[in-house]
Structure 1
């Protein structure tokens, strides 16, 4: 999954050059199974799933980092 994710992000940056203003936000990707990477954020519309930090502009998600539960640092590397 990581190799495919990296490839998509590289293509995104080759095809579309972001402007000056980007939004950084957390995204929850719904998942109801049992894995240690699952996060629960109670006040989100989708409270349980994979947490992803993303950089977007005008509705287009350019790059993202998968959140690792237990790490104190948030969206580093975006």
Structure 2
């Protein structure tokens, strides 16, 4: 991941937490993987822990819809 960031000239410090977050939101939830599966993949004991990632995805969808709405109107 750090090698890819270096090639793309991304200067943000990349950590294990950022990698997990990206995997949970961008790779799995945004592509329709059920939250129960994501929870198991991340090793969460409680589904409520994984739901934090789902809220991020829902907020992103909402933000994107607002941008689309402004574009259309």
| TM-score for the superposition, normalised by structure 1 | 0.29
Larger C-alpha radius of gyration, 1 or 2? 2
| TM-score for the superposition, normalised by structure 2 | 0.31
Higher strand share: 1
